[in-house]
Amino acid sequence: MKENTTIADSKSFALASKAKDYFQLIKFTLSFMVVFSTVVSFLIAPYETIYTRHTLLSVLLLFIAGLCITGSANAINQILEKDSDALMDRTSKRPIASGRMSVAEGYVFAISIGALGVFMMWYFFNLSSAMVGLVSLFIYGFIYTPLKKVNSIAVLIGAIPGALPCLIGWVAATDNFKIGGWILFGIQLMWQFPHFWAIAWLAHKDYSKAGFKLLPSNEGPTKFTAIQTIMYSALMIPIGIMPYFYRMCGQISMWIVLACNIWMVYTSIMLYIKMDKSAARKVMFSSYFYLMVVLLALWADKIY
């Protein structure tokens, strides 16, 4: 009896460990954030479709489909970067980099969930959103990922699939590519530069060890990088107020978005002045809150 219990406990532990590895493979926390923007953009979109969109089931299906597509892209990223991940402290314990999972298993999992996600987008929503999801997965996995070791232009390329989740949510709801979807895409596109450069600033030594070139300057965290962060944060201001002029939100939401944009510019200026990790960390954490607050502020007008 005791032996059977021990075997059962061992199997449960192995299953839990495998599930944990898959969660790491899809970068669940990052994927969740990405899918958050997809779902909120879906809810922001106007009521122009025959779909029963704003039900819990619709949101749940979109969340699962988006998580599969994003998770697939992240898994492919880890497969292609397994040797680089093994060199960096913060990524060396990932399942493929550490050897706990084979490349073949990773590919089978990535292809399976990617195909499932694209199929769900087509079957439950529309072909257009499925195709955008597929394009996003391809660019992130097979263009952005290998380009990271070639040139810092990889950040620009990577910003495209990073912003497409907003467009996917809009298209899933409306089956069109009207201006509203592109505005949401533009907001998330510009947001990624200060966000990612703050992360690259903090992890510069680790990234350099693995051969990644992700900051605008080859010399690492410099004034030039800080200036670029200010520039893109400033560009977020005119894009951020476009929802108001295209009647996607009211005045209160517009002022909330504007305040968030100004705060991002302020933290970027402080990075330029201080040039230290503390200031970079403030840009990074501010960017996390920025996206959440902005998208929820735009959605709030649809509720009330």
Contact 39/63 with Cβ under 8 angstroms?
yes
Q: How far apart are CA 169 and CA 191, in angstroms?
A: 17
Q: How far apart are CA 95 and CA 99, in angstroms?
A: 6
DSSP for 233-295?
HHHHHHHHHHHHHTTSS-HHHHHHHHHHHHHHHHHHHHHHHH-SHHHHHHHHHHHHHHHHHHH
Contact 236/261 with Cβ under 8 angstroms?
yes
Of the chain, the percentage scoring pLDDT greater than 90 comes to: 61
* Phi, psi torsion values for 20, nearest 5 degrees: -60, -40
DSSP for 120-156?
HHHHHT-HHHHHHHHHHHHIIIIIIHHHTTT-TTHHH
Interval 228-256 mean pLDDT: 93
Instruction: Give the model's confidence band at 208: pLDDT under 50 very low, under 70 low, under 90 confident, else very high.
Output: confident
What is the residue whose two structure tokens read 């510069």?
Answer: 204
Interval 258-285 mean pLDDT: 95
Query: Which tens digit of pLDDT belongs to each residue from 114-166?
Result: 999 999 999 999 999 999 999 999 999 999 988 888 887 888 899 999 999 99
Interval 215-241 mean pLDDT: 89
Of the chain, the percentage scoring pLDDT greater than 70 comes to: 92
Question: Quick one: which of 70, 108, 39 has its CA closest to 302?
Answer: 39
Interval 216-221 mean pLDDT: 77
pTM: 0.90
Contacts of residues 260-264 at CB distance under 8 Å and 24 or more positions apart, as own/partner, are 260/289, 260/290, 260/293, 260/294, 260/297, 261/233, 261/236, 261/237, 261/290, 262/237, 263/290, 264/194, 264/233, 264/236, 264/290
pLDDT for the residue 213: 76
Average pLDDT, the chain: 88
Q: Which range (29-33, 45-49, 197-201) has the least confidence?
A: 45-49
Contact 181/277 with Cβ under 8 angstroms?
no
pLDDT for the residue 109: 95
Instruction: Give the model's confidence band at 2: pLDDT under 50 very low, under 70 low, under 90 confident, else very high.
Output: low
